[in-house]
């Protein structure tokens, strides 16, 4: 059983060495480092030192382009978006939103620079975390008719493909266009990453209806440059339970993995854990294992106790349960 943990919020190498040693002793086989734009601009060499420390502790290194351009998951701000407002997605009502357009050549070139930095550090994987187009609901927009992107470039590409102007009301061609754009984005980026000597892993959002985010899960998974796929059905924050959320999402990823001969990695929630519900983490991992998953990771190390926004109600108990889970399942 391959077990992993995400790691973020600390850039003191000596302190991180102790944490990495602890991860290894708990039974982790890899660590997923977040790599934000702040890390890229101001901590590049430090990040390389952290990756080296992980390797020295016998841990595989996965690197997460955290919240880059606002199209990947993560609690981080984007300098690229501040510097390049011309790359922002545009909603169908004309409002510009701070999320890079997946069709932006400027954004893809920037992302390749990050890949170059990560590859130079001799990491093992790029972990593409929760890729998505602009999701109105995440901004508190309740109008289901709002969507993006309808920037000038997307309108030009749409007209070239369908021979009519991109409509303001989403139709089947708009959905198809967004999916094909996302597929082209990942085809280009994953191939570039592979050429740089890194493996590609993708974590899809656990949304049952692909139309909601227009990321073609199966088509992305079919790419020969993708090594690992998975998802993160965080049942606590979605207000769901393991049987009606974790189980079906896991089954879906396993089905896609079998269909395209991909490894499957599933995440379980170790942050914002409600009081007296810590044991549900064990049940989630057991469920994933029984279904056939052999690569499981937790977000995040130490139950994210260092970050007040993500901290669980009883971080110490969360950490005790995590240690038991890793000790048990790493031996299977």
Q: Look at residue 212 in the predicted model and tell me its pLDDT.
A: 65
**Cβ atoms of 285 and 268 closer than 8 Å:** yes
Q: 86: how many CB neighbours lie within 10 A of its CB?
A: 12
Instruction: Give the tokens for residue 164.
Output: 């009519």
pTM confidence score:
0.96
Instruction: Give the tokens for residue 133.
Output: 């187009």
Q: Look at residue 213 in the predicted model and tell me its pLDDT.
A: 72
Question: In the chain, what are the domains?
Answer: 2-329 (3.20.20.80)
As a whole number of angstroms, the distance between CA 295 and CA 95 comes to: 41
Instruction: Give the tokens for residue 56.
Output: 């020295």
Q: Could you tell me whether strands 96-100 and 88-90 are parallel, antiparallel, or unpaired per DSSP bridges?
A: antiparallel
Strand partners, 109: none
Per-residue pLDDT of the chain (332 residues; tens, 9 = 90+): 999 999 999 999 999 999 999 999 999 999 999 999 999 999 999 999 999 999 999 999 999 999 999 999 999 999 999 999 999 999 999 999 999 999 999 999 999 999 999 999 999 999 999 999 999 998 899 898 999 999 999 999 999 999 999 999 999 999 999 999 999 999 999 999 999 999 999 999 998 666 667 899 999 999 999 999 999 999 999 999 999 999 999 999 999 999 999 999 999 999 999 999 999 999 999 999 999 999 999 999 999 999 999 999 999 999 999 999 999 999 98
As a whole number of angstroms, the distance between CA 103 and CA 151 comes to: 10
Instruction: Give the tokens for residue 252.
Output: 């879906």
Strand partners, 229: 202, 264
């Amino acid at each position: 059983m391959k077990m992993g943990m995400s790691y973020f919020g600390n850039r003191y190498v000596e302190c991180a060495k102790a944490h990495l040693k602890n991860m290894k002793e708990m039974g982790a086989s890899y660590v997923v480092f977040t790599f934000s734009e702040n890390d890229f601009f101001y901590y590049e060499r430090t990040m390389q030192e952290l990756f080296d420390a992980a390797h020295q502790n016998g841990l595989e290194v996965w690197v997460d382009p955290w919240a880059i351009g606002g199209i990947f998951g993560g609690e981080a701000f984007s300098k690229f978006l501040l510097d390049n407002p011309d790359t922002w997605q545009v909603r169908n009502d004309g409002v510009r939103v701070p999320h890079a357009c997946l069709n932006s050549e400027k954004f893809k070139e920037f992302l390749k620079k990050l890949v170059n930095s990560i590859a130079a550090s001799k990491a093992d994987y790029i972990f593409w975390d929760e890729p998505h187009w602009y999701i109105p609901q995440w901004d508190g927009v309740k109008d289901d008719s709002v969507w993006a992107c309808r920037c000038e470039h997307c309108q030009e590409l749409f007209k070239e493909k369908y021979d009519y102007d991109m409509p303001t009301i989403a139709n089947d061609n708009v959905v198809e266009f967004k999916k094909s754009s996302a597929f082209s984005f990942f085809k280009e980026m994953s191939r570039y990453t592979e050429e740089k000597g890194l493996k590609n892993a993708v974590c899809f959002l656990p949304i049952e209806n692909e139309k909601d985010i227009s990321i073609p899960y199966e088509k992305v998974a079919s790419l020969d440059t993708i090594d690992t796929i998975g998802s993160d059905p965080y049942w606590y924050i979605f207000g769901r339970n393991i049987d009606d959320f974790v189980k079906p999402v896991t089954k879906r990823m396993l089905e896609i993995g079998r269909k395209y001969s991909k490894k499957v990695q599933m995440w379980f929630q170790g942050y914002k854990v409600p009081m007296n519900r810590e044991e549900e983490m064990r049940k989630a991992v057991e469920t994933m294992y029984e279904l056939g998953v052999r690569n499981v990771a937790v977000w995040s190390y130490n139950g994210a106790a260092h970050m007040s926004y993500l901290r669980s109600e009883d971080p110490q108990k969360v950490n005790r349960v995590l240690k038991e889970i890793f000790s048990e399942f790493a031996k299977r």
